[in-house]
Chains A and B, each alone.
Chain A
Amino acid sequence: MGPDAAVLEARAINVWRGERHILRDVSFEVHPGVFMKLTGPNGVGKTTLIRVVCGLLPAESGEILWRGKAVRSASEQFHTELAYLGHPNALKADLTARENLRFLAGLRQSLEDSDIDRALDRVGILSRGDLVARSLSAGQKRRLALARLLLADARLWILDEPATNLDVAGVTLVEDLIAEQVAGGGLVLAAAHQRLLDESPITERLELS
């Protein structure tokens, strides 16, 4: 594997929140074709680690490397290859589903209407495309947020509890999307409580304690 192969690496990440030493020397590697599942009890720091990896939260010490380069110094390049889905759906209540995708995913990629429709269809809410986000159910909002991932054209997906508010079919959708992303040479790092591709060969685990 070449030196700038698409590998995500975390080295000795330490984070304090006020006085609590939340993350202690956390290190891991995610290679292409792998779904890295982050597990651990509530409050152990999964979301904190995810935000550090994305570059939203600086760590006291330690490094995040993407393609061998420190993310801190090459952040714009890192962010063009990263798609992040956090706890909030990042939806504007007064915009329709289509508009939400156009105005957010459109910041990264120039989108045609057909791209947006295809994404909405893949997550199963094409018929809701012209409804304002306020009138979508919690599950539909989460699906809309997933649609944004599809439009990001990103090698690396970082997800925080992606299956929140989703029914059984929704959880299957998330598993399918992750499997497709990984099959195409992508990487997925996700914090998840629930069963998500637990038996699959593509899954590796990182348990925080």
Chain B
Amino acid sequence: MRRANVSAAAALVFKRDLTLALRRWDEVTQPLIFYVVVTTLFPLATTPDLAQLRTISGGVVWVAALLSSLLALESLFRSDVEDGTMEQWVLSGQPLAWLLLSKVAAHWILTGLPLVLISPVVGTALGLPFDAWGTLVLSLLLGTATLSVLGGIGAALTVGVRRGSVLLSLLVLPLAMPLLIFGARAVSMQMDGDSPAGPLQLLAAIFFLALSLGPLAMSAAIRISVES
């Protein structure tokens, strides 16, 4: 038997999570349904007039995506920590940060990506014009991916805490506010005819920062959480 290298281990983690999700795929669809329900709340609370909704459509889609992603992220590490798998990962001799990043990536593909893909549909229901679809999707791709990393850090810190989902939102939402500002504004700028390049580039920069430092923070947080 040969020692497995890091990429083989990370690939196994990725494959495992996809396999597990496909066997319990009702858990995967719930955040998506939540997303659609939340966006429906806004017209009900304000006005059915598409022209008025249009002005806030980018923001509403973004806020709904933020909340749905957070909901999905709350249980990211719970089952692995509870059944003892996570401490085996800590002791596996493989760099924990890579294993966790692989897990977050699988989670994003299962929950974040579907949100992004149906966002044009949801946006259109709020009056979002067709020419803003590209910016909406691109901003949400970067935003939900970054949020998965930030949420992963929060989930790692709050694993096992009672009523952890509220605490997770309290911790992660302030950190996610810059994402919201840049992402939603990119969409409105596109709708106003301005170029959204500025905020999109800022979103990309934040994403790369999160990608490089996030897994380290997650790894530290997980080690703290599996101590007891």
Direct chain A–B contact by Cβ atoms under 8 Å: yes
- Assuming the contacts A103-B16, A107-B12, A108-B93, asked whether A90 and B1 have C-beta atoms less than 8 A apart, the reply is no
A55 cross-chain contacts in B, Cβ below 8 A = 90-91
Are B88 and A110 in contact, CB atoms less than 8 angstroms apart?
no
Q: CB-nearest residue of chain A relative to B6?
A: A107
Q: CB-nearest residue of chain B relative to A51?
A: B227
Given A89-B83, A95-B19, 20 further pairs, Cβ under 8 A: A54-B91, A56-B91, A57-B227, A76-B93, A86-B87, A89-B84, A90-B83, A91-B85, A92-B16, A92-B83, A94-B23, A94-B24, A95-B16, A107-B9, A107-B92, A107-B99, A108-B94, A110-B1, A111-B1, A151-B1
Q: CB-nearest residue of chain A relative to B3?
A: A109
A-B contact pairs, 25 of them (CB 8 A): A56-B87, A56-B90, A56-B227, A57-B227, A57-B228, A80-B93, A84-B91, A86-B84, A88-B83, A90-B87, A91-B83, A91-B85, A92-B83, A92-B85, A94-B23, A94-B24, A95-B20, A102-B12, A106-B4, A106-B9, A107-B4, A107-B88, A108-B3, A108-B92, A109-B3
Residue A130 CB within 8 A of the other chain = no
**A142-161: which have CB < 8 Å to B?**
151, 153
Are A92 and B88 in contact, CB atoms less than 8 angstroms apart?
no
What CA separation (Å) do A104 and B95 show in the bound complex? 15
Residue A99 CB within 8 A of the other chain = yes
Q: CB-nearest residue of chain B relative to A145?
A: B84
Q: Nearest-CB distance from A111 to chain B (Å)? A: 7
Give the interface of B toward A (CB within 8 A).
1-4, 8-9, 12-13, 15-16, 19-20, 23-24, 79, 82-85, 87-95, 99, 226-228
The 9 A-B residue pairs whose C-beta atoms are closest, nearest first, are A88-B84, A80-B93, A90-B84, A79-B93, A103-B16, A109-B1, A107-B9, A94-B23, A107-B92
From A82, A93, A103, A111, contact of B91 by CB (8 A)? A82
Are B91 and A79 in contact, CB atoms less than 8 angstroms apart?
yes
Residue A72 CB within 8 A of the other chain = no
Are B20 and A92 in contact, CB atoms less than 8 angstroms apart?
yes
A88 cross-chain contacts in B, Cβ below 8 A = 82-84
Residue A58 CB within 8 A of the other chain = yes
**A35-83: which have CB < 8 Å to B?**
51, 54-58, 76-77, 79-80, 82
From A86, A87, A90, A109, contact of B4 by CB (8 A)? A109
A207 cross-chain contacts in B, Cβ below 8 A = none
What CA separation (Å) do A51 and B99 show in the bound complex? 21
Residue A29 CB within 8 A of the other chain = no
Q: CB-nearest residue of chain B relative to A17?
A: B228
Q: Nearest-CB distance from B209 to chain A (Å)? A: 26
B16 cross-chain contacts in A, Cβ below 8 A = 92, 95, 99, 103
From A76, A84, A94, A111, contact of B88 by CB (8 A)? A84
Residue A115 CB within 8 A of the other chain = yes
